[in-house]
Amino acid sequence: MRYLGWMLTTETSSLDSESANSLSGLNIAESAEHLRNYIAVEKARLRILAGWFLRIGNYEHKYKLAYHLYDCSEHVSWLLARLKEMRGGNPSASIRPQLKRLLDEALHAPTDEDFLMGFYGIVTRALLKTLSADIEQLDPSGNANEVRLLLRIKHKLEEQMEWFSSLNLDLESSPWASHLTSLLNEQGGIHSQTTENPKPSVFTGPRFERPSTIVFDDAIEVGELASYENRQQMDTRQATIEQFRVFFNEFYAAALLASILFDGSDGDYPWDFYADFSRHFWDEARHSEFGAIRLKELGVDPNRVNPILFEESEGLPILHRVAYLTRGLEAYFMPRKPKRMIEYEENGDPRSQLFADQDWSDEINHVRYGSKWCDFLLEDDYRDIDDIIGEVKDHLTKVRGTKVEDISAPF
């Protein structure tokens, strides 16, 4: 019996050893290289989503792009944090030129549908596939940090792909998707590990230009919104409807932030700059979504926007756009927030109060972002924030043709 017991123990140990040897895992240098590739892809996806948030026509698609942009930002933050822990992580290392070419090209889709097919059907799918393959290769103990991290990212990418699949777009019929597939194969995938060598692909068509307004399809018209003073005179139901039209119009603030993220993508800013303004952008898109949700619940189609505040910011440097939104417009709107909370409570409207409560809390955080980054951007500048706000007012005076004394809004 003792002999039999020894045999069983030896056999089991041998099998465990065999199983362990079949798991190759990734060493620190390999892991760091793969994480840097993922950072490059997610930073590029963030920039592309910022640009296409302005360009894509379907407003509900815009909300999805906003959520996915914030996913990208969180992923980069997580990946950078891990790289900084790793010996030789080198988070600022340059990416391969071929990978950069693919990521740069993915911006320039000719149509909304082509953008969705190329961005999700080719680039995001390749990212998910590559990341999933890495998870399979990683050793659950030796690479435990990377396993935990990549599983979190994988979950969000699967959600993104599930949404894309629900659109039922025909990838096979898109020359743009074929073009991006060729570029992806040409460079051997995200990690340059495959050996396919297709002929170089060139796609002739218009190049992407960031819109100077926020583009919508025919479901949304550009029009006036009721002023704050007029809303105060309306009956409770109509006032609530008009207030949530203003919520829906938070598209203008999200658009302004999208322009900061897109235009500043090649700037020499710390990563926290992009992380904070990605969060701010997501918040403003969600505030617009509050409006869409509540209007539908009240039996009204969300069908009107007034993008004037975004359009008037065009031509301002990034510092001035940050100051205009966070130290100008949000400061202008802030006194209304607590009053609106009380109003909804007195009206017995907890649903509206919920959205107003979240909005007010978020906006306080946005003012903090503004103070933080205005101070940072003015660090080696002879000007102060009052000078910048003064320059914003001068810009608005030129745009409007009338003297601007105070930053305000027509709604």
- Per-residue pLDDT at 12: 40
**What tokens does 79 get?**
């990946």
- Per-residue pLDDT at 93: 85
The chain-wide mean pLDDT, for the chain, equals 93
- Per-residue pLDDT at 5: 39
- Per-residue pLDDT at 11: 40
Reported as a single tens digit per residue, the pLDDT across 179-232 is 999 999 988 999 997 666 666 788 888 999 999 999 999 999 999 999 999 999
Decide if pLDDT at 357 tops 60: yes
- Residues 214/305, Cβ–Cβ less than 8 Å: yes
**Amino acid identity, position 125:** R
Worst-scoring range by mean pLDDT, 6-15, 115-124, 272-281?
Answer: 6-15
Q: How confident is the model at residue 91 (pLDDT cuts 50, 70, 90)?
A: confident
> Model pTM?
0.93
Sequence-ordered list of residues with C-beta below 8 angstroms from that of 2, at least 6 positions apart, any chain: none
- Per-residue pLDDT at 13: 41
- 3-class SS string, the chain: CHHHHHHHHHHHHHHHHHHHHHCCCCCHHHHHHHHHHHHHHHHHHHHHHHHHHHHCCCHHHHHHHHHHHHHHHHHHHHHHHHHHHCCCCCCCCCCCHHHHHHHHHHHHCCCHHHHHHHHHHHHHHHHHHHHHHHHHHCCCCCCHHHHHHHHHHHHHHHHHHHHHHHCCCCHHHCHHHHHHHHHHHHCCCCCCCCCCCCCCCCCCCCCCCCCCCCCCCCCCEECCCCCHHHHCCCCHHHHHHHHHHHHHCCHHHHHHHHHHHHHCCCCCCCHHHHHHHHHHHHHHHHHHHHHHHHHHHCCCCCCEECCHHHHCCCCCCHHHHHHHHHHHHHHHHCCHHHHHHHHHHHCCCHHHHHHHHHHHHHHHHHHHHHHHHHHHHCCCCCCCHHHHHHHHHHHHHHHHCCCCCCCCCCC
Decide if pLDDT at 355 tops 60: yes
| Mean pLDDT, residues 301-319 | 97
| Mean pLDDT, residues 123-143 | 97
Decide if pLDDT at 9 tops 60: no
Reported as a single tens digit per residue, the pLDDT across 23-62 is 679 999 999 999 999 999 999 999 999 999 999 999 999 9
- Per-residue pLDDT at 371: 95
| Mean pLDDT, residues 82-92 | 91
- Per-residue pLDDT at 202: 84
- Per-residue pLDDT at 195: 61
**Amino acid identity, position 198:** P
| Mean pLDDT, residues 374-381 | 96
Decide if pLDDT at 14 tops 50: no
| Mean pLDDT, residues 128-132 | 97
Q: How confident is the model at residue 6 (pLDDT cuts 50, 70, 90)?
A: very low
- Per-residue pLDDT at 197: 60
Decide if pLDDT at 3 tops 60: no
| Mean pLDDT, residues 331-359 | 95
Reported as a single tens digit per residue, the pLDDT across 254-285 is 999 999 999 999 888 999 999 999 999 999 99
- Per-residue pLDDT at 94: 84
Could you tell me what percent of the chain has a pLDDT over 90? 87
